[in-house]
Amino acid sequence: MIDTKGTVVAVNGNMVSVRFDGAVSMNEVGYVKVGGKKLKSEVIRIRGDISQLQVFEITKGITVGDEVEYSGDMLAVEVGPGLLGQVYDGLQNPLPQLAAQTGSFLERGVYLDALPTDKEWAFTPVAKVGDKVERADTLGTVPEAAFTHRIMVPFGLYGTYTISSIKSAGSYKIRDTIAELKDEKGNIVPVALSFRWPVKRPVDCYEERLKPVDPMVTRVRLIDTFFPVARGGTYCIPGPFGAGKTVLQQITSRHADVDIVILAACGERAGEVVETLKEFPELTDPRTGRSLMERTIIICNTSSMPVAAREASVYTAVTLAEYYRQMGLHVLLLADSTSRWAQAMREMSGRLEEIPGEEAFPAYLESTIASFYERAGLVRLKDGSLGSVTVGGTVSPAGGNFEEPVTQATLKVVGAFHGLSRERSDARKYPAIHPLDSWSKYKGIIPAEKVAYAHGFMRRGSEVEQMMKVVGEEGTSLDDYVVYLKGDFLDSVYFQQNSFDAVDAAVSPERQAYTFGIILKILASKFTFDDKNEARSWFNKLRQKFLDYNGSEWKSERFASLEKEIESTVAERSKGVDKAAEKVLA
């Protein structure tokens, strides 16, 4: 019920100042009336009887004196069956239905139901009349795609409730009352298949928060082996424009070992978003053999949309992720790109006339970014099951400068850093993650000492390469040149991965460990060559065999045949194993 109204007293871009009469709360939703439309906005600051609202729509036509209605509700999303497979904007409007209603050019002031209200769901109760329940307890289940969707006590109902009535098994619509709960004062609270939850309030209905330990397998060798991501952890992918951030996210979303994938295009260029919307419905999920969209939610807020909606899209995405985590599912949230979100914050901070920080970003940039990534995590629920939200965010620093504020603020809070390199991108080395700049605090699928030994060849090989740029190849010793060739071999056959190859695009942890063991023996072997040309020719030959090996089916006849060829080629030149590596290989 709307009981507070106000009047616009100033307009500054997408921010309006409103003098109100009544009670107004931070993050409350208000509607600015203009041209017969109601434009959705959010209260971001209150000073006396003046509230300042960021408008999620184009503010053309708003003038001093226009009326504003306050809803009394926080900016929230509707959660329940029917979320999977949806494409939303930052305010949880389903974009296909919005386009069908308004046409290709979306009209402002049009807001649709987030979930289909006419679809019926097969509800099966698991609780019974007389049971004592608390928020997030399961009342029943509904099948959704390949998952069992839990119908839970709304997260906003604090205290203990008694089930006074609950529907029997049958088909019900999303807004139908399926249970009635009685609180300790005897008040009856109806519960439907869906409910609303404020996007800026973390879901904290779990029993215990755990430290992320187990790796989230992405089937990308460079990530899983050298720079792993933990299930329930955080990571970032900074890189210059065109370095492959979006492509890497799409590959990860397809092959990562998670249940649900949520893509938040929070200000990415419209062309890349369109490509995602076209490709995802046609992709086959390697886990289920069905459409990948059946376990995906896309929050689409491109750079051509109003800046205020970028912030809303980030929080909408993470709230939906927490909701599915509360069902004991593992969720991967990919935000692309958080730089656009930070730029929107900078723009709004300027309009609020706040004291600017570095590069005019708001002084609270670090704490805001940290609060977003902190909503990731691995949790134990009341029934003992585990659920997780893993958050990966891309950053688009201008010119690929990792020293700029958004990248630095992100690096302080994430557990892994996958820095993309323009040099590697231009050299068509996929993924373009720089193997010397990147790092991870998490445990991977390969023992750390083995990874460190192999990574040493990459580092030493890079040093030799830099030296050769100064003194030339002829000024380098043969032993140093072999170290350089070993590092280049590791880069070519393990770091780089062919995303267009049906086999090499996604590599299982078992195959990664097996292949890494073979490469480790090659790196540890002592080889003798007459000159650098012979060494280069031999490593080129071995590299080609290994690339064919990577493209062969796991444990197929061709796989076994190529492995024998590789072992034979190595045995011809090997003069034993380096003593320093004996302990690592044991």
Q: Tell whether residue 243 is among the known ligand binding residues.
A: yes
Q: Tell whether residue 289 is among the known ligand binding residues.
A: no
Q: Are 9 and 21 in contact (CB under 8 A)?
A: no
| Spatial separation of the C-alpha atoms in residues 82 and 112, rounded to whole Å | 14
| Spatial separation of the C-alpha atoms in residues 248 and 32, rounded to whole Å | 40
Q: Return the bridge partners of 52, or none.
A: 17, 45
In the numeric block, the tokens 């419209």 are attached to: 270
Q: Are 362 and 356 in contact (CB under 8 A)?
A: yes
Q: Are 73 and 84 in contact (CB under 8 A)?
A: no
CB atoms within 10 A of CB 134: 13
Q: Tell whether residue 288 is among the known ligand binding residues.
A: no
Axis crossing angle, helix 509-524 with helix 478-490, rounded to the nearest 10: 180
DSSP assignment letter at 139: E
- The single-letter code of the amino acid at 4 is T
Minimal CA–CA distance to 165: which of 174, 157, 176, 173?
Answer: 176
Q: Which two tokens stand for residue 317?
A: 């995405």
382: left (phi over 0), alpha (psi -120 to 50) or beta: alpha
Q: Are strands 37-47 and 28-34 parallel, antiparallel or unpaired?
A: antiparallel
Question: CA-based angle 359:362:367, to the nearest 5?
Answer: 120
Minimal CA–CA distance to 333: which of 235, 404, 445?
Answer: 235
Q: Helix, strand or coil for residue 554? A: coil
Q: Are 333 and 315 in contact (CB under 8 A)?
A: no
φ, ψ of residue 30 to 5 degrees: the values are: -125, 160
Q: Return the bridge partners of 66, or none.
A: none
In the numeric block, the tokens 């706040």 are attached to: 354
DSSP assignment letter at 226: I
Q: Are 304 and 89 in contact (CB under 8 A)?
A: no
16: left (phi over 0), alpha (psi -120 to 50) or beta: beta
φ, ψ of residue 188 to 5 degrees: the values are: -95, 130
Q: Tell whether residue 241 is among the known ligand binding residues.
A: yes
Q: Which two tokens stand for residue 104?
A: 């290709």
Q: Tell whether residue 6 is among the known ligand binding residues.
A: no
Q: Tell whether residue 244 is among the known ligand binding residues.
A: yes
Q: Helix, strand or coil for residue 65? A: coil
Q: Helix, strand or coil for residue 184? A: coil
Q: Are 295 and 256 in contact (CB under 8 A)?
A: no
CB atoms within 10 A of CB 540: 14
Q: Return the bridge partners of 195, or none.
A: 79
Determine which helix (DSSP H) or strand (DSSP E) holds 452, and give its type and residue range. Answer: helix 448-471
In the annotated binding site for ATP, the residues are 239-246
In the annotated binding site, the residues are 239-246
